[in-house]
Structure formats: C-alpha cells, structure tokens
Structure 1
Amino acid sequence: MQSRITLPVTLLLASTFSIEMSAKTDDKSVWQYEDVFNIEYAASPKASPDNSLIIYERRAMDIMSDGIRTNLWSLDIKDGSHRPFLSGKSQYRSLEFSPDGKRVAYVSNSEGDNQLYVKWLDTGDIARVSEVQSGISNISWSPNGQWIAFSMFKKMPSKGIFNEMPKQPKGAKWAGTATYIDQKRYRGDGVGILPKGNRHIFVVPSEGGTVRQISKGQYNHGGMLSWTPDSKNILFSADRHEDWQSRSRESDIYRINIDTGETVNITSKPGPEARPLISPDGKRVAFLGFNDKKMSSQNYDIFIMNIDGTRQKNLTKSLDRPINSPKWDSKGKGVYFSYDDHGQKYIGYVSIKGKIKTKLAQLGGQSLGRPYTSGEFAITNDNQLVFTQANTNRPADLALLSKRGKVTKLTNLNEDLLGHKKTANIKALTVKSSVDGREIQAWYALPPYFDSSKKYPLILEIHGGPHTAYGPNFSTEVQLMAAKGYVVVWSNPRGSTSYGEDFANLIHHKYPSEDHNDLMDVVDGMVRKEFIDKNNLFVTGGSGGGVLTAWMIGNTDRFKAAVVAKPVINWLSFALTADAYPYFAEYWMPGMPWDQADHLWKHSPLSLVGNVNTPTMLLTGEVDYRTPMSETEQYYQALQLRGVDSAMVRIPKASHGIAARPSNLIQKVGNILAWFERYKTDVE
C-alpha cells in the first residue's frame, strides 16, 4: 500500500474547517483515500483471429505521474494463462490484430512521442512504422494485411491579421504573440484553445514506410475506419458540409479510395450516421444513426445497408434504448451491440432480419468516479464474447461468455487491494414520483460494518448529463463516502437515459424542473427507513447533478449542507461560454439565448439564490470549459453577498472530468466529506 499523501488545492472558505470524519480514518479494513492510487481495471479487449488469445489494456493509477498508465496484457483462452504482452513505464494502447493474426499494431510513447508500432507474435520483433507529430487513433488493418489506416489531427498554419509588430530587441522578454481565433469551434474541454486544422485519414505500409494522407478538405474525418474486401477503399463517417461547425449532430458515411483519394457520399439522411462496419462477406454495412428531431436526448439505432448505400433498414427500431458499439458476428448473420437499460449496460444481438436478443451479458466497471453505466466487449471468431464484467464493488475485470451461455471470469485485478477490505453493500430502491406516479429507480450504499439499530447520515448523490444513467455500478466516490460512515443514495430521475426517449425528454427545454421532485421523492423513500437520521441529510452532484443540487437548495432548506460540483448556474452565461455552445444552443434551448432570456432565467439556479440558506460549497476544475469556472464564481459570489456560509474549491489542472487525475478524485471526495462533516450534528 502507498502511504497517505497530502496534495495542494486552492480553497476559499467563508470560515475554516478541519477534515475530521466520524469513521476511523486509519481503519485499513475499509476504503481509504490512498487506495485510489492502487486501482486497476480492464479495457479494450481484442480477440485473435484463431480464437486462442485475448489482449487487453490493463489500466492502473500511477501515483508518480498522477494519471493512468496503460499496458497490454494477454490471456490464453484455453489454459487461462495471464501474462504481460507490452508492459512498463511507457504507455501501450489501441491494439489491433492483423487479419492473419500473426502481427499486432498498437500505439506507444516508448520512444518519446506517440507512434504506431507493429509486433510479430512468433518472434516478438517490433517495428516502428510511423513518424508523425499528432495523436494516432482509429487503427484499422487492410484485409490483405499490407496497409494500416488511422486518423490523426493535421495542424494548419494560423496567422493573425496584424503584421506590423515591431521587432523584439535581443534579450527582451515580451508577453508573446496574440492568439488569433476565427473558427466557431475554438475551445474544447480537456484540451483548451483548439489549434487550427482537421482530423484526416492516413495510410502507412504495415512493414513501415511513408505515412500518406488520403482525405482532403477542411473537414474532420475520423471515427471507425472500415476497409472494403479488396483493400482499396475505406468507409468512414464525417460531416463534409461547408457549415459543419454549426451542425453538431450531422454526419454521413463516405467511401474513400486509398490510391486516388476519390470520396463518395454513401448516406445522406438528416441526422448522424456513424461507425460504419462492413460485414465479413463484404456485402453489407452496419452503422449507427437516428433521424434528428432536435430533441436533447436521442437514441442511436443499428441500420444495415448494401455496401453501395442502397436498401437501408433499421434493425433496432423496437428497442427504445441507447445503443452503441455495433460488431458483426463472425458469419455476418447479425450484429452484437451494447445498450443501456434501467441503469445498467448489457450486450444485445440483432439478426439481419431484425430479431433482437437482449441481456446476453452485463457490462460495467469502467466508470471509476461515479456509478455511471460503462463497459466494453469483443467477439471471437467462434462467437464467444469477452467483456468487462459488472460488479458493484470492483472495477472492471474481464469475463468470457461461451456459446452455451457459461460465464467464466478471466481476471482478478483488484483482489490484492480489495479482497481483504469490507466494502459497501448496495441495495435497490424504487419510489413513485409525486409528479405523475412514474416509477423512479434508485440504489443506496450501506457503510461497512452497517448496524441497522443505529442512525446514519444520508448523502443524495445526483448524476450529470442530464441525459445519462446511474446504476448499481462500481463507484470509488460512493465507496469512500460509505467508508466514512454515510449512507449514500443515487437515482435516475426523469431526464435519465436507459428508460426510453420519452422518459429522457420529459425535461426537454425545461431542465431543471420536475426532476427535482423525483429526487426529493427518493429522499423521502430513504428517510422512511429507520436507520436514516432525518436531521443529517446532505446533497451533492456534479455537472447536471450540480445544476440540480443548486436548484434543490433554492427550493428547500431540508439539507444540512450541499456541495455543488462543476455546475451550470446561469443558462444565459453558460450558453455563450461553454465549449460546445453550438450544440447547447440548438438542442438544449428553445432558441438563441438573447431571444429566450426569460425562459433561460426561469430555469437557472441563480434565479433562486435569494432563497438559499443551506451551507454550500462550490467545487470545479480550474480548466473546466464544459461548465466554466465563471458559473461557479457567479454562484459563490452571490452566496457571499447574501451572507450564506459558503466555500469555493478550485481543483488544479482539472477539466470537466475531475477524476482523470487520481489525486483530484481524492481531493473532490475529500472536500465534499469535509464540508458535510462540518455541518453534521449528533445523531438524534
């Protein structure tokens, strides 16, 4: 185990407080903050063409780099042997088997910058096959094994319009050159100011050689790349319309010739068509798409068509659930896919005739911070499924589903960390909405060593999105909260996905609204349990959950304290400061913000700040461009002007995904619990 470390955080408080928890902070039999640095999980499994080998990404928290280290490990399907394939301090990721199974391509920074490599499995020889400047993604072998395609960002020269700047004297230290921006999409969360340029498709000989760009134009070309059987053309998804920067959810499927660069538009329906995948016999294409109705929540369906784009057919029209990751079976008779249902992710299958099978396996374990749905899978050539297995108390391990339906667990990546620890017990809860009687699904975690004769404080944890889904899934944050003696409850109020588009769109153009009532109904359901201390109720949530947390304390004084994480406080300001502002203005708002000021203000938590009496902490990443820090600062300053006990925590080097750095995940949970401990009173 690593020793406890103290990390810096910028903290502004109305008054100081100490981090003292009711549970013993040195009790190694339960989750501790330093345990975050020892988490591992499985991702991106790939099966060899001969069905003998699985290679997957083994991702581990790195205490020295404060990030995630990704190595490649292999599993022998027959004897179960588990060994490193490419391992060490360097990053190894994005592995793809060659069609004959004798080689693998992957991306690594083993020689400094990220490049493409090929490894021969019989000898272990490795060749570097690229010399590029930007990040490589979407690796795809040609069927004949001669080429490897990938997508990559290509930077364009960017010059300002001012060219009369005086020459800087030798030795002078000027501020630097001004940044000139004239593109609509100019900033991205986790990236910052976007360089000028576009993603393009490239090919390189699989034995090394010249990397050649084959796509053209000032458009982004990326996503899944699928080769035609003759190894002469690639199918991809893009929006090649001249006004693509304004079209947030538009894309078509194209075919590009790798020799000439000739690009042919195959689909042209309104809305997105994405992730094209050619069938094993080369006759059909499966892809994801939907008819864009400009609703804030819309589910993808799986379509198939002839390879020339004719005879398009929706295979999953009857399955009203979020669908992703289509993969042809080995004989081209149908498509496997993942989908969310009632807060959990599953593998499904649909035949080319439209017959659907559901809940073949349950996925999970890859959302380390909060209990969101997650998971990946792969298919062997004999139609066995390798997947990241769901577990309420463990991050993702790999499991194998045989053709006969037997599930075999393949890895145990966290038993050394958690096998000797007492973890939270997860229970289900369903309540009736006081708004319209709909069933609202929820789950709660009981502290380790739970005693039903005692009273426990309650934390309501609210998911973001708002169009996402929680479930009985692994969550480091929930485990840490429970280990400190709290019962934690989370739910899927109206607006959540995995219950159908109608349920998700109940908040369309009116968010937040009755989702607040659903959440309070969940709190009422918990308070009716004898082990909940009704005088110690707390609330927190991030992103969309931060919006709802601020909305709730503007409507009730029922909570002892609140932590509003990375919120939207004022829809008017958010509409013109968020990184994805073209999308938000078109899909989340009934019109341009200057034309909808009354509507947006009506749904802004800032409009209710005059009602707030609840002690409130604001917590946001310092480089969050999705829900910018200015939103947090508005609310903090408003609370300070009103004299409400309040604090602002600014998480260093954190974008919207605070949990991307292990130390920041710890700081997030630690500050939330410290704030709640400050206001928690003795059990009644």
Structure 2
Amino acid sequence: MTDDLTPGPTPADAAGPFHDLDAYVALPRLGGLALSPDGTRLVTSVSTLDRKGTGYVSALWELDPSGHGAARRLTRSAAGEKGATFTAEGDVLFTSGRPDPGTDDDDAPPALWLLPAGGGEARVLASRAGGVGSPRAATRAPVLVVAGDVLPGARDLEHDEELRAGRTEKKVSAILHSGYPVRYWDHDLGPQSPHVLVADLSDEGLVARASSPAGDRPVPGLEEPRATLRDVTPDAGVALREHTAVVSPDGTTVVVPWAVPEARGARRSVLMAVDTATGDRRVLVDDPDADLWGPEISPDGTRVAFVRETRAAPDRAPVVRLAVVDLAGGDARVIADGWDRWPQQAVWLPDGSGVLVTADDGGRTPVFHVDLTTDEVRRVTADDAAFSDVCVAPDGLWAYALRSSYLEAPTPVRVDLAHALASGEPVAATVLPSPSSTPTLPGVLTEVDATAADGAPVRAFLALPHGAGPDSQAPLLLWIHGGPLGSWSAWSWRWNPWLLVAQGYAVLLPDPALSTGYGQAFVERGWGDWGDAPYTDLMTVTDAAVARDDVDAGRTAAMGGSFGGYMANWVAGHTDRFRAIVTHASLWALDQFGPTTDDATFWGRTMTAEQAERNSPHRSVASIVTPMLVVHGDKDYRVPVGEGLRLWYELLSSSGLAAGDDGRTAHRFLYFPDENHWVLAPQNAVVWYQAVLAFLAEHVLGEEQPLPPAVGEPLR
C-alpha cells in the first residue's frame, strides 16, 4: 500500500456537493481543448445544467495559455456549442443548434458557426437540413472539412434536402438495411450516413447571403458570407459511420478511417485518402490483420500517424500500437513495437521528429514522447493523473491538456515540453486559470496492492471517508470498472466514488486481469475466461482491503456496470461474502447477449460458444443468495435490455432468494425506459444514486433510507 495520495482537506472541509446530489449534478464540467494555429488562444467547453435542470448545455470558454489571464466566456445560447476548432486565420469554428438569426427555426439541426478572431458576434457559416459536425480546418489554407449526414439515394446535397422534407412531411421513420450493424451504443443507424463535406473559406469561396438579426425576412444590404459545402464522398454508403476525418495542413487531402465490409456481416477499417478538390480517393493503408483509427497528419503534410489495433480472436487479445505511413503512399511502419503499453491517438511535434501519446500506465494515463527515428519512448508528465486532449504549441515549447484523477476533475494544464524533452525527465504540469474547480473531497485516497495466485500484482485505488480508522471502520464497496479493456485512472462525473464516500463508505476501485496499463500479459490473463483471473483478482484485492484496520470486513457490497455488471453477476453466483450487489447494464446470459448486442460480429470473433457457455453468469443463478439491485436502460444497445429483463425474471424465479409465495423479494429492478448504457440525464442520474444508496443502506448498514421521491415504493 502506498502513502495517502490526498492533499489537503480536513474533516471540517468535508461538507459539500458530494453530500447533495442536486448540487453535485449542477457542478460545471470541462471537456475538450483546441489551440489556435499561432498558439496564443486555447478554447475549452464547459457544460452546465439547463434552465429546467433536466439536461446539460455547453458553452465555449477561452483560456490563457500563458497562465496569467482569467478564463472568459465566448458563447452563450440555450442550445449550447461544441466541437470548437480554429481556422488558419484564427477564427473559432463550432457547431450549435441555436437558431439562425435569418430564420424562424427554433429546432434547427446543428449548423457551423464562426466567431471572428478580431471579436464580434458569432454568425452562421454553413447550415443544412442534415446538420453538420466534427469540423476540422486546415492550418495553412482556407479549407474546412465537416461531417454531414446524407440520405441513401440522394444524388447530391440539394436532393438530400428534398428527400428529408418528404420523409418529414409523410412521417416516415422506416430504415432499410443491407448490412451490419444497424445500431450503435444508444442510437439507431440510418437511414442517413455520414459523408465528408468540404468548404472553401477563401474570399472567393464564400457566398454573400442576406440576413436579418431580428429573425424576420432577409434584408438586402445585410449580407453575411456563407460557405458552400461539397460532398467529396458521395458514394461512401455506410463506410464512414462513427469515424472522423482529418485534413492536411495545405487543405488538399483528407484522411479518414473507412469501413470495408467482410463476410458474415463483419467490417474492418482501412485508412482512406481523399482529394478535397476532386473527391478522388485511394487506400492509404489496408491491413487485413488490424483495424486502423485515429489518423493525424504531420505538420509538414508528408506523413500520417495512426493507431493499429490487431484483430482479436478467442485465444488472443488485441494488441494496440502506433504506426506511421507516408501520405503519398507506401508501407506503414509500426512504431515502438517493444513498448508494452497501448498508445492512444498521436499528437505531432511541430518539427515532425516525434509524437506525443497518452497511455494507461498503472492506474495513471501520462503523456509520453515517442521518437520516430529511434522508437524510444519517454514519459513526459510526472503527475499521478490521467491526461487527455493534448495540444502542442507551434514552437514546440509547451503542451496543453486536460488533467484529471480521482483527486481532481478535468482541469486545463500547461506542460513544459521543452524542459521534459531536453532533460529526459518527466515534469509536473502547471494548472491554468479555469472556469471551474474541483470541490473539496469528503475523504482521502490511497492505494491497495495485492498478489494474485499466479504471482501477478493487482492494484486498486481506495477512497476512504474522513475519520475512518480502527475505532470507526468504514463499510466497503467494491466497484468494478467496465470495458473490460480499461482502467480506473481518470475522474468520472457519472461513476464517482466520492458520492459513496460522502455517505461513509470506503470505495475500492481495482484493476483486475483484462485491465489496461499493466502490459499485454496482464490483459491476456483474463482473455476468453472472464470468470477466472478477473474474478480471483477482484477477490484477492478485496481481501487485502478488508484486512486494513480502517475497513469493516463484515459490511461489504459489490457494484459494477457493463463488464463490471457482468462481474457483479458472476460474483453473486460464486460467493456469498457480500451483503448486497448492484449490477448496472450487465451481461447475464452470454448466449443471448452475443447475437443481440450492437457489435455481435466482434463478440463472435472473440469468444467461442464454449467460452461463452463456461463464462455465463446465468448458469449460477441458483447459487445467488445475495440481494441484488438490477439497473438497466431500454435504449442500451451495447448490452440490450433483454439481459436485464432475463436476469430479473431468473432472480425472482430461480435464485436462492427467489420470490416467496407472497411474491415478495429482496431483489430490486430499477428500469429507465428512455435511458442508454450510462443513464445520463441529470435527474435520472440523481435517482440512480438515490436508489443505490437506499439499497446499500438497507442491506449493508441495516438502515432505512428514503427511496427517490420521483420513484416511490417499488411496484409489485
């Protein structure tokens, strides 16, 4: 066990939003960073509750990269703004569904807006009935690339507008598929599919259009320059679903992952290069053994860095590596193949000598420098934290990122990149003035280390309430992460341990087998056998936690979502050591889950029928004697609601705590008809935590807590 990681707060500071769910969901939340081409401006988005308190709306804020000036708000609208990026001239581009002043449409699809570099009001730059998203501007040319959904059969963008009007007028919702998949996470795919749209932002490429600030009829003399969007992938079909394009610095070429259909409904992604002037395209990299994603074009426009993820099989986990290819074509080269970590999307250094990547590493996600000549990998950041949204200044002296951990919500920081690269030593990041800050935590954070039966080290974070000790032991909640290829490393607004700590629980956040950040062998330990090493790792690290004198070994519970929910179900059927178990969006019957998840082809490729049968929690339902709270959303397509429905019925009919003659049961089912895999609406998230806390209080603490007022007593 390491030393206490928490700086500062005392028990007197403990009261705060973690004790009040309404106050907690109202906290502002940062996301994303964009740096101007000259490195003088940094923009982030801040999400806050809308006026009704039922959703979140985001606004753009400007940060001072030097760290001297205060953050200032750039945009304000009821619809919110997102997707900030800069043009070569320094204008800020973003997407928003706010009404165009020249129309009366209060329910408009997302349009592209421009906020001039020299100041002034934002104006619409481009709009269409299908909306636009994911803007990327060339850094040295007046060229813009956006994603835009287009209906099948549309001859061009104008015809697409006509087809949309017809579907709307006749209230047609039907979608005709000829391929797979048909759903993704929480939304139906089709009938429209994303295309790459290109615009010329030069004076010659913009067209003046009369507008009216009052929202009445367009008034001659009040002209605003508008961009004309061109579809450079008119025959893309569904190849660009869930992919984002990048544009070369000179604006001549777009690179985008492109889905190629295979037998039995499968797909794999290649890298495609598209000429922005002609729409001509060529396959840049085609690797039959891997999926390719996350392309980034070098500052001089000659090379493309991307992520190569090998295709998993029942007997082998994927391997994730960085690779580089010349934009003109040729063989791709895997970079730093001997580095036993999984790099995420690359960010080029200005001179093209290397890239920065983040990668999970022992419960942290530092920034690393990868030398493209020597393949040497060196850690850049010294912080015990997770970094994301990395940007590099054009002079290469500084890097900027969002930093978070279980001690800190996402916070903008500056990294002395020049010093780190010159010294070869990691450096601590400097916090930039921000629109939001992390509330005082209601406890302390430490770590627990254990050794599995096969000798593998297993570690976990442990969040403890203030005052926990031998004379005031805290009940323990084992919280199992999803994925399963992931790690407890970064702050989560949705899955936040401090809300449980505020109620007196010690929360254990372990990284068992299959977790990333511990090397390929650690992933392989659990591959194809979820009920083996992942389960025993969880029990081993739980044993280490309850051996502490500040944790009550007699009052414990387990909880998890998605794969964590699967593990919660598995735990329920294989031990009675816990007093209560919460299972959210969980896999229950793997033979049923496999063909019905939104990504059945991946499942079929990575787990055999025999493995699925051996590792299916439903086979042990009769052994479940622990009260379970089942949570599921009907709009969850990754783990379809049928898993929750079957689990619920089999708990009542076949478990060791089956419903009695009077129909009563200790189990509970919390169902959200309009929620997805995560349950994201703020008030539904409040109900989620209220129900979980009441369930745990009843069975772990032996106390009665009121159920959510909006839910009331359970239906029988």
* TM-score of the pair, normalised by structure 1: 0.85
Matches within 5 A, 1:155-554: 155-156=151-152, 181-191=177-187, 193-206=188-201, 207=206, 208-217=226-235, 218-221=237-240, 223-228=243-248, 230-239=250-259, 241-243=260-262, 246-248=265-267, 250-270=268-288, 271-294=290-313, 297-361=317-381, 375-383=388-396, 384-402=398-416, 403-404=418-419, 405=427, 407-415=429-437, 418=439, 421-434=440-453, 436-471=454-489, 473=491, 477-554=496-573
When residues 671 and 359 of structure 1 are mapped into structure 2, their CA distance, relative to the original with a 3 A threshold, is: farther
Q: Distance in 2 between matches of 1:123 and 1:616?
A: 56
When residues 229 and 632 of structure 1 are mapped into structure 2, their CA distance, relative to the original with a 3 A threshold, is: closer
Provide Cα deviations, 1:454-513, integer angstroms capped at 9, x if missing partner. Answer: 122111111111111113746653111011111111101111111122211222222222
1:363: how far off?
8.1
Unaligned runs of 5+ in 1: 1-22, 159-173, 366-372, 591-595
Q: Distance in 1 between matches of 2:284 and 2:175?
A: 39
Q: Which moved more, 1:503-512 or 1:329-338?
A: 503-512
When residues 496 and 481 of structure 1 are mapped into structure 2, their CA distance, relative to the original with a 3 A threshold, is: same
Aligned: 1:121 with 2:117:
yes
Unaligned runs of 5+ in 2: 1-10, 100-107, 155-169, 207-225, 420-426, 659-665, 704-716
Q: Give the secondary structure class of the aligned counterpart of 1:74.
A: strand
Q: 1:84 aligns with which of 62, 73, 76?
A: 73
Q: Is contact 1:151-1:221 (8 Å) kept?
A: no
Q: Give the secondary structure class of the aligned counterpart of 1:515.
A: helix
Provide Cα deviations, 1:335-375, integer angstroms capped at 9, x if missing partner. Answer: 1111111121111111221343433237898xxxxxxx663
Q: Distance in 1 between matches of 2:474 and 2:189?
A: 47
Aligned AA for 2:569? A
Q: Distance in 2 between matches of 1:526 and 1:666?
A: 28
What is the aligned-residue RMSD (CA, Å)?
Answer: 2.7
Matches within 5 A, 1:540-619: 540-587=559-606, 589-590=607-608, 596=609, 598-619=610-631
User: Identity over aligned residues, as a percent?
Assistant: 20
Q: Is contact 1:364-1:374 (8 Å) kept?
A: no
Q: 1:106 aligns with which of 94, 97, 107?
A: 94
Aligned AA for 1:99? A
Q: Which moved more, 1:452-461 or 1:218-227?
A: 218-227
How many pairs are equivalent?
A: 621
Q: Is contact 1:40-1:395 (8 Å) kept?
A: no
Provide Cα deviations, 1:602-661, integer angstroms capped at 9, x if missing partner. Answer: 211110001111111111112211111111111211111144321111024210022x22
Q: 1:151 aligns with which of 119, 142, 147?
A: 147
1:59: how far off?
2.3
When residues 61 and 585 of structure 1 are mapped into structure 2, their CA distance, relative to the original with a 3 A threshold, is: farther
Q: Give the secondary structure class of the aligned counterpart of 2:407.
A: coil
Aligned AA for 1:400? R
Aligned AA for 1:503? F
When residues 73 and 412 of structure 1 are mapped into structure 2, their CA distance, relative to the original with a 3 A threshold, is: closer
Q: 2:19 aligns with which of 24, 31, 42?
A: 31
When residues 263 and 277 of structure 1 are mapped into structure 2, their CA distance, relative to the original with a 3 A threshold, is: same
Q: Is contact 2:336-2:377 (8 Å) kept?
A: no
Aligned to 2:86: 97
1:74: how far off?
0.7
Q: Is contact 1:189-1:656 (8 Å) kept?
A: yes
Q: Give the secondary structure class of the aligned counterpart of 1:512.
A: coil
Q: Distance in 2 between matches of 1:489 and 1:515?
A: 15
Q: Which moved more, 1:513-522 or 1:291-300?
A: 291-300
Aligned AA for 1:408? T
Q: Distance in 2 between matches of 1:64 and 1:247?
A: 43
Q: Distance in 1 between matches of 2:95 and 2:34?
A: 15
Q: Is contact 2:175-2:191 (8 Å) kept?
A: no
Aligned AA for 2:358? S
Q: Is contact 2:559-2:568 (8 Å) kept?
A: yes
> Higher relative contact order by CA 8 Å / sep ≥ 6: 1 or 2?
1
1:195: how far off?
1.9
